[in-house]
Chain A
Amino acid sequence: MKRLSELDIGEWGIVRSVTGKATLRRRLATMGFIPGVAVAVKHCAPMGDPRAYELLGYCLSLRQEEADLIEVEPLPVYPLSTAPPGKVKVVGIEGARGVRAKLAQLGITENTSLVNRATPAGPVIIELSGKELQLGRGVAKKVKVTVIPEENGKATD
């Protein structure tokens, strides 16, 4: 368990709880910070504060002071070559410009979501925008992905 303010840029986490004053908690909840929702750190302002986050498909800024109040469970990051099967989201690409450019041509950049077929050997097969693509294992190793729970959150009883 970490605080949202402690996540690095590009990292994803699942909101577990929000503390702080009731009015602020309510405000954060209305903007989508409720248990179960996936959040990513997107940008950081000069001087490190505030930072911009992605949640529910939009972008929101918070000061570190507010992000301190939000407890998250960081999502594990895998190389695409060993990622679990199903829908995954690209959170980072390692390697030189050439690799990134090649992947971008295929439509794979940071933030792309794709379906991983999880082949045990040989090329990695993925599905992207309805098309099937093959990636070499070496390249796939450089693509870092995470699994964002389909069920974004649950009502608490």
Chain B
Amino acid sequence: MEKRPIKIAIAGNPNSGKSTIFNALTGGNVSVGNWPGVTVEKCEGCSVYQGHRVTVVDLPGTYTLDAWTLDERIARNFIVEEKPDAVVAVVDAANLERNLYLVIQLLEMGAKVIIALNMIDIARSRGIEIDTDRLANALGVKVVPTVAARGEGIDELRQVIHDIGRTPITPRPLQIAYGEEIEQAITRISTLLTAKVAETEKRWWALKLLEGDTGGDNFTEAEALARTIRAELEQRHKHDAQSAIVERRYGFIRGVIRECVRTRPGISRALLISEAIDGVVLNRWLGIPIFFGLIALTFYLVFVLGTPLSELIGKLFALIGQLVSLTLSAVAAPEWITSLITDGLIEGIGTVLKFLPNITILYLVISLMEDSGYMARAAFVMDRFMHLLGLHGKSFIPMIMGLGCNVPAILATRTLETRKDRILTILVNPFMSCSARLPIYILFTSAFFTRGRFVVLLSLYLLGIILAVISARILRWVFFRSEEAPLIMELPPYHAPALRTVLRPTWFRTWLFIRRAGTVIAPAVVIIWILARLPWGVAYASAESLLGKIGGLFAPLLKPAGFGYWWAAVALIAGVVAKEVVVGTIATVHSTESGRLTEIIQSYFTPLSAYAFLVMSSLYLPCVATFAAIRRELGWRWAFFTAGWTLLLGWLIATGIYQIGRLIL
């Protein structure tokens, strides 16, 4: 028997447990990163069932397929263009009515839909009984009840995917009666679509155009007709075609629900608890203090819990360095090899990996906030504030994620509805101090600001946020002087975060950090080591070395900011590869154990120039990965714009602080 590979897509509303189903089906065998809550990258996983390869694509969570947000367009285009063998629609059983709206659209498209009726336990606890057989009959699809968080129903779902995915029969698209006038409009538009789309897809395309979506160059004629018809209907009824279509769909859903759902009066405990929490967290007076309290707590944990652990790792690397150099001298290895391995590799990588505990804790807390449902509340509470600052409440989530890493944060902006908001949120994101900058902060604050350390750290984060806000205001004023997108955002019920769904992304992000230490930071450190050695014969990492020459070229530019040292320039240049490299470079150049690094920088910097250096390294240039993410999302122009803007502001502010500080102190 031929074993044809099956390709399926997973669609569903945000918060329907889509990612959990995806993880359960693929067993975590995923090829692209999956950022929790915001599965905006196209994640592909793979599993084998009864000898068949099953490729599973996780579509972005959407409420509809209107092509309103980028997420919706990604999901829609995938189903239209790639025609997966089956689409698993993950439906929140406790929230059936709104969730079915997406399912209806999938059925109208003619997709082979399988419904995973997820969180059926929660629905039951709320007194909602769903007759799955009737639901399956009413919609003409297979329905599998699941509790993905506990793995219930997953085997059955696999079997159904296997059965449906292999049958070559494509279902007839669902036809909802939209009433005489709209039906006539559909027929008129359909005739223009002949030979452009398949016969079975004509109705769906006609509907979409009538709803006001654009279909590309192929459809200009039909689109124009749709526009005319919409205007006609609007004039005749004062009621627009688009809303009428949505209402008809909901009307159909209500009919289905009447048939298959029984609700007992009562209320579930879980929902009561969730509302009680919201009563406090969304309180008029407590909301903002609680939010800032949580952020403060996060950073307190990062430093207080993380620092002892990171010192332990530092000692471990020092020990490894000693052991290696002892072994190498025992086998009489040439001096330069010993130098490369101990001064270069072990020092460089060790200095960076030392910060692993701090970074893991930060990621853990961010994942907890996302998974528990607090992130949406934070956006809700902060919306007015963000509005004043010229940003959207939803921009807030990418901004907070930026504190972890700017790259997933930039991807997370895809949930924003307008391009303007997206561009603004992306452009100001590099000002959010990512965790890779932490090593620099920790090194310098422990050397210079032992007493006021927390205040100095906080000031760096705040400075970044303030600049983000000012930049957003300026950019909005210069480029996009128009109204903001609405804040139409679901506040999902809280749930106790599942260990797996929190730990997986935490581990994944931490692993990326470790891998970067091997793939990006190690080569960077080796290149720096080589440049520090050349030309042959100069003293290692002296001002006469190639490295010294390059640094010396830029050093004068940094002099007004108080740190015109050639190696400071080199560290900043190398930091563009990844911000962690700044510290690694300083360690490599001075070829010293990280323990003594403190003394060395103390001999070069004053507290004032150290602060200026911190400001500069916090603000200047996004790292290469961030730059690439901006380019991919917005193109070269905006990527270079961000680079220039951050470099300019970083230099101006560092210089300003140093010069003004010198006058005062």
Indicate whether A1 reaches chain B with its CB closer than 8 angstroms.
no
Residues in B neighbouring A25, C-beta threshold 8 A: 240, 242-243
Separation of A153 and B230 alpha carbons in the complex (Å): 24
Given contacts A50-B383, A59-B490, contact A30 B64 (CB under 8 A): yes
Given contacts A22-B242, A63-B486, contact A57 B97 (CB under 8 A): yes
Contact of A60 among B64, B385, B490 (CB under 8 A): B490
A49-B384 in contact (CB<8A): yes
Residues in B neighbouring A155, C-beta threshold 8 A: 247-248, 250-251
Separation of A128 and B266 alpha carbons in the complex (Å): 6
A32-B489 in contact (CB<8A): no
Separation of A45 and B248 alpha carbons in the complex (Å): 33
Given contacts A44-B284, A52-B282, contact A27 B247 (CB under 8 A): no
Residues in B neighbouring A130, C-beta threshold 8 A: 264
* B-side interface size class: 35 or more
Please give the distance in Å from A156's CB to the nearest CB on chain B.
6
Separation of A142 and B94 alpha carbons in the complex (Å): 30
Q: A1-43, CB under 8 A of B: which get 1 and which 0?
A: 0000000000000000010001111111111101100000011
B282-A26 in contact (CB<8A): no
Given contacts A62-B486, A112-B267, A128-B266, contact A34 B380 (CB under 8 A): no
B267-A57 in contact (CB<8A): no
Indicate whether B275 reaches chain A with its CB closer than 8 angstroms.
yes
Q: B280-320, CB under 8 A of A: which get 1 and which 0?
A: 00101101100000000000000000000000000000000
B491-A59 in contact (CB<8A): yes
Indicate whether B344 reaches chain A with its CB closer than 8 angstroms.
no
Indicate whether B179 reaches chain A with its CB closer than 8 angstroms.
yes
Separation of A98 and B120 alpha carbons in the complex (Å): 35
B243-A29 in contact (CB<8A): yes
Please give the distance in Å from B646's CB to the nearest CB on chain A.
31
Contact of B266 among A43, A49, A57, A112 (CB under 8 A): A112
Residues in A neighbouring B279, C-beta threshold 8 A: 43
Indicate whether A115 reaches chain B with its CB closer than 8 angstroms.
yes
Given contacts A44-B284, A49-B384, A56-B98, contact A66 B247 (CB under 8 A): no
Separation of A95 and B567 alpha carbons in the complex (Å): 71
Given contacts A22-B212, A24-B486, A46-B284, contact A60 B491 (CB under 8 A): yes
Please give the distance in Å from B204's CB to the nearest CB on chain A.
16
B69's nearest neighbour on chain A, judged by CB, is: A27
B247-A35 in contact (CB<8A): yes
Indicate whether B512 reaches chain A with its CB closer than 8 angstroms.
no
A56-B488 in contact (CB<8A): no
Indicate whether B393 reaches chain A with its CB closer than 8 angstroms.
yes
Given contacts A45-B380, A47-B384, A156-B239, contact A26 B246 (CB under 8 A): yes
B381-A45 in contact (CB<8A): yes
Indicate whether B624 reaches chain A with its CB closer than 8 angstroms.
no
Indicate whether B36 reaches chain A with its CB closer than 8 angstroms.
no
A32-B383 in contact (CB<8A): no
Separation of A83 and B254 alpha carbons in the complex (Å): 27
Indicate whether B497 reaches chain A with its CB closer than 8 angstroms.
no
Contact of B383 among A31, A45, A58 (CB under 8 A): A45
Q: A64-93, CB under 8 A of B: which get 1 and which 0?
A: 011000000000000000000001000000
Separation of A46 and B282 alpha carbons in the complex (Å): 8
B278's nearest neighbour on chain A, judged by CB, is: A43
Contact residues of B between 505 and 551, Cβ < 8 Å to A: none
Indicate whether B487 reaches chain A with its CB closer than 8 angstroms.
yes
A32-B380 in contact (CB<8A): no
Residues in A neighbouring B239, C-beta threshold 8 A: 156
Contact residues of B between 230 and 259, Cβ < 8 Å to A: 230, 239-240, 242-244, 246-248, 250-251, 254
B243-A18 in contact (CB<8A): yes
Residues in B neighbouring A103, C-beta threshold 8 A: none
Residues in B neighbouring A59, C-beta threshold 8 A: 490-493
Separation of A155 and B386 alpha carbons in the complex (Å): 38
Indicate whether A97 reaches chain B with its CB closer than 8 angstroms.
no
B212-A23 in contact (CB<8A): yes
Contact of B66 among A26, A28, A56 (CB under 8 A): A26
Which residue numbers of A lie inside 8 Å of B, CB to CB?
A: 18, 22-32, 34-35, 42-50, 52, 56-63, 65-66, 87, 107, 109-115, 127-130, 151-157
Please give 8 more A-B residue pairs, beta carbons under 8 A apart, in addition to A26-B242, A107-B266, A156-B247. A27-B488, A49-B384, A59-B492, A59-B493, A61-B488, A61-B491, A62-B488, A65-B486
The list of the 9 closest CB pairs from A to B, nearest first, reads A155-B251, A29-B246, A129-B266, A26-B242, A59-B491, A43-B282, A113-B265, A47-B384, A30-B64
Which residue numbers of B lie inside 8 Å of A, CB to CB?
A: 63-64, 66, 68, 94-95, 97-98, 101, 127, 179, 211-212, 230, 239-240, 242-244, 246-248, 250-251, 254, 264-267, 271-272, 275, 278-279, 282, 284-285, 287-288, 380-381, 383-385, 387, 393, 486-493
16 A-B Cβ contacts within 8 A? Answer: A22-B230, A22-B242, A22-B243, A25-B240, A29-B242, A29-B243, A29-B250, A30-B63, A30-B101, A43-B380, A45-B383, A50-B487, A57-B97, A62-B488, A112-B265, A112-B266
